[in-house]
């Protein structure tokens, strides 16, 4: 037969204060049974399990759990422990821990993205591709422009100056165009 006792006895059983056990009862996290006299008693074994299964891991050590539901009443304390239940409990707890870890990592990633310590990979790859294409186009446009200006010139320095000026103009134009291709913090590109 399962061990039953008063709220104070259960508090001593789990090593917590009676006030904490009262909060557990109000939250519906204790299995309360009626004895032969009709008095409510706490089923220690089932209550231990229920408390373990419903404990919020983020708040497990502070004892300040949420209040709201009514206690569970069981007429007969003949419930036998289910060995498979322990395995399910373990899997559930692992899933809860993984979900919390994932949520924390997701929040951290959003924060890093907001402060521009992390950028979107696709936007970065597209920006690099567009930057090189812009630079290539600017350099290829230099030859036709410079050739038209160099017709009839015999001075090598004058030809070199024309090519240098055209390259500078092309690089300056490409730089201005590339500024518009860089991703903004919100993921878009500048206008």
The model's pLDDT over 3-49, given as tens digits with 9 standing for 90+, comes to 888 999 999 999 999 999 999 999 888 989 888 888 889 999 888 88
What is the rounded average pLDDT of the residues 67-91?
A: 58
Residue ranges of domains in the chain: 1-80, 82-118, 121-179
pLDDT of the residue at 176: 83
pLDDT of the residue at 18: 92
pLDDT of the residue at 83: 58
User: Is it the case that residue 153 has pLDDT exceeding 80?
Assistant: yes
User: Is it the case that residue 178 has pLDDT exceeding 80?
Assistant: no
Distance of alpha carbon 73 from alpha carbon 92, whole angstroms:
24
84 neighbors 75 (Cβ within 8 angstroms): no
pLDDT of the residue at 137: 86
pLDDT digits (tens, 9 = 90+) for 84-141: 566 778 888 899 999 999 999 999 999 998 888 888 888 888 888 888 888 888 888 8
pLDDT of the residue at 51: 86
Which residues are CB-neighbours of 29 under 8 A, at least 6 positions away?
Answer: 47, 50, 51, 54, 65, 69
Q: pTM higher than 0.95 for the full model?
A: no
56 neighbors 100 (Cβ within 8 angstroms): no
Which residues are CB-neighbours of 26 under 8 A, at least 6 positions away?
Answer: 67, 68, 71
pLDDT of the residue at 65: 46
């Amino acid at each position: 037969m399962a061990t039953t006792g008063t709220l104070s006895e259960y508090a001593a059983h789990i090593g917590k204060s009676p006030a904490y056990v009262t909060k557990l009862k109000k939250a519906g996290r204790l299995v309360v049974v009626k004895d032969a006299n009709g008095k409510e008693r706490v089923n220690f074994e089932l209550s231990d399990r229920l408390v373990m299964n419903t404990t919020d891991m983020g708040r497990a050590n502070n004892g300040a759990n949420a209040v709201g539901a009514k206690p569970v009443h069981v007429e007969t304390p003949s419930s036998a422990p289910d060995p498979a239940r322990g395995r399910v409990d373990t899997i559930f707890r692992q899933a809860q821990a993984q979900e919390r870890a994932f949520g924390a990592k997701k929040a951290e990633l959003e924060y890093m993205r907001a402060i521009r310590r992390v950028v979107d990979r696709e936007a970065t790859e597209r920006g690099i591709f567009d930057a090189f294409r812009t630079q290539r186009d600017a350099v290829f446009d230099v030859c036709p422009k410079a050739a038209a200006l160099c017709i009839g010139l015999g001075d090598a320095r004058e030809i070199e100056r024309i090519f240098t000026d055209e390259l500078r103009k092309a690089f300056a134009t490409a730089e201005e165009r590339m500024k518009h291709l860089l991703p903004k913090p919100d993921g878009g590109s500048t206008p």
